[in-house]
Structure 1
Amino acid sequence: MVTATKKKATTHKKATAHKTAQHPRKWSANVTKHSNALDLKQNIFESHDPKEIAQSLKSSAVKSHRRKSSPYRSAMSMLTFYINRAGKNLPKKQKNVLEKAKNELRVAFGREEQ
């Protein structure tokens, strides 16, 4: 039984190594660029205007016929995904802009009073 356990662990390591070799390390950047749900304006998350980000996300979400949920949820999910995946690499100033864009997105969809 001990050897069977060791064999499974070795097999698992090989399978994991194989999976990571096939996928690029920055898979989240690929999702942001080539989202199947939303057609995003290029470099929209680099904008310094929260209203512009929110309006662009809203426009993309409303126009999309490939999304699986409501336009609001799709837009908010993409924004949250970007913030979470950028992590430590996202400058604090830009993170603040993106957090404000969340509020602007709520206002744009009538989910919160301004």
Structure 2
Amino acid sequence: MARYSEKSRDTVGEALHKEKKGKLRSGRSGKKVTSRKQAIAIGLSEAREKGQKVPPPPKGSASSKKSSGKKATAKKKAAPKKSAAKKSTAKSSTRKRATATTRKAASGRAKARKTTGKKAAATNRKSSSRKKASSSKKKAS
């Protein structure tokens, strides 16, 4: 049984002819293809895209790496979690220090607010008593 269809052979042949003429260009970069092996690989990938009978790419090739890109990124994400646990202990200790300093600062601010509140209340009392005195003088005259 044939591994490749006739049409897939034609597609690879076209890619080789383009490579010989210097008109075959690679996918992303658009650079000119100079290698016969690369021309064959491009022809095979075009045949796969068209749905022609071509065996799947080998496991170590670039086209198979593209399809398994999601799996590789999932593994990469799993690895930093272990180091993140180490970082979290350092973060928690710095958080404890930070919260202690913020508590001190907050308590100092609260004391300041209380004193300013007392001062404000005293000035309000004074001003209200002045207003009452001035209003009672106006009524008397």
Smaller-chain TM-score range? under 0.3
Higher relative contact order (CA 8 A, sep 6+): 1
Relative to its length, the structure with more helix (as a share) is: 2
TM-score for both structures, normalised by structure 1: 0.27
TM-score for both structures, normalised by structure 2: 0.22
